[in-house]
């Protein structure tokens, strides 16, 4: 269940990053973009680690 919540949060975060990147350069808030990208990267790493742990060889 928690993995589903992390996946949904990751989608929302990366969507927010893409929306911020589409804004004109004068309106971009670099601090907010950096924070969102850090959170998106962390959530992606959590999902990737969970995926590799569930794979059996």
Checking if the pLDDT of 57 tops 80, the result is no
- By CB atoms closer than 10 A (0-12, 13-18, 19+), residue 33 is middle
Q: Whole-prediction pTM value?
A: 0.80
Which pLDDT value is given to residue 25?
74
pLDDT, tens digit (0-9, with 9 covering 90-100), for 1-43: 888 999 999 999 999 999 988 887 777 788 888 999 999 999 9
Angle formed at CA 40 by CA 37 and CA 43, multiple of 5 degrees = 150
């Amino acid at each position: 269940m928690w993995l589903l919540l992390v996946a949904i949060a990751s989608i929302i975060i990366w969507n927010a990053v893409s929306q911020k990147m589409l804004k004109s350069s004068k309106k971009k808030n670099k601090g907010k973009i950096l924070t969102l990208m850090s959170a998106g990267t962390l959530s992606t790493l959590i999902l990737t680690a969970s995926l590799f742990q569930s794979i059996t060889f």
